[in-house]
Chains A and B, each alone.
Chain A
Amino acid sequence: MPSIPYEHGLILAAILFVCGLIGVLTRRNIVFVLMSLEIMLNACGLAFVVGSARWGHADGQIMFLMILTLAAAEVAVGLGLIIQMYRRFHTVDISVLSEMKG
Chain B
Amino acid sequence: MLEWIGLLPAFPLAGFLALVLTRGSLPRRIAGLIGVGSIGLSFLLAALVSIEFLGSGLESHTQLLWTWMSVGTFTPGFSFYLDGLTVVMLLIISGVGFLIHLYSTGFMADDPGFARFFAYMNLFVASMLVLVLADNLVLLYLGWEGVGLCSYLLIGFWYDNPANGYAARKAFVVTRVGDTSMAIGLFLLFQQLGTLNIQEILTLAPQQWSEGQGMAVAAAALLLGGAVGKSAQLPLQTWLPDAMAGPTPISALIHAATMVTAGVYLIARTHILFELAPSVQLLVAFVGLATLLMAGFTALTQRDIKRILAYSTISQIGYMFLALGVGAWSAAIFHLMTHAFFKALLFLAAGTVILSLHHEHDIFRMGDMRRKLPVAFWSFVIGSAALTALPFTSGFYSKDEILLAALAHPQYGMLLWLGGVLGAFMTALYSFRLVFVVFFGRDNHQEHASHDAHHVPGAVHEETGIAMALPLLILGVLSLFGGLIHVPVDAVFAHAEAHEETHPSQLIHTVMILVPIFGVMISYLLYGSRPYEKAGQHLRTQILNSPLGRFLNRFWFSGWGMDALYNFVFVKPFLALAQFNRRDVIDQFYTALAELARISNRALVLTQTGYLRWYAISLVGGLVLVIGIGVWA
Contact = CB atoms under 8 A, between A and B. Distances in A.
Interface of A: 21, 24-26, 33, 94-95, 97-102
B611 A95 contact: yes
Contacts of B613: 24-26, 94-95
Contact of B608 (A21, A25, A26, A102): A102
A100 B610 contact: yes
B616 A101 contact: no
Contact of A21 (B606, B610, B612, B620): B620
B617 A25 contact: yes
Interface string B578-619: 000000000000000000000000001111111111001100
8 contacts: A24-B613, A25-B613, A25-B620, A26-B613, A94-B611, A98-B610, A102-B604, A102-B607
A98 B607 contact: no
Nearest to B613: A25
A101 B608 contact: yes
A100 B620 contact: no
A21 B616 CA distance: 9
B616 A25 contact: yes
Interface of B: 604-613, 616-617, 620
A47 B392 CA distance: 120
Per DSSP, chain B at the interface is: helix
Closest 5 CB pairs of A and B: A102-B608, A98-B610, A101-B610, A102-B605, A100-B610
Contacts of A98: 609-611
A99 to B, nearest CB: 6
A102 B608 CA distance: 5
Nearest to B606: A102
A24 B616 contact: yes
B371 to A, nearest CB: 81
- The CB with the most chain A CB atoms within 10 A, among B607, B613, B616, B620, is that of B613
A60 B610 CA distance: 37
Contacts of B610: 97-102
A80 B444 CA distance: 92
Contacts of A21: 620
Contacts of A97: 610, 612
B608 A100 contact: yes
Contacts of B620: 21, 25
A37 to B, nearest CB: 10
A98 B609 CA distance: 7
B503 to A, nearest CB: 97
A24 B611 CA distance: 12
Nearest to A102: B608
A14 B604 CA distance: 33
A95 B604 CA distance: 21
Given A94-B612, A98-B609, 9 more contacts: A24-B616, A33-B612, A94-B613, A95-B613, A97-B610, A97-B612, A101-B609, A101-B610, A102-B605
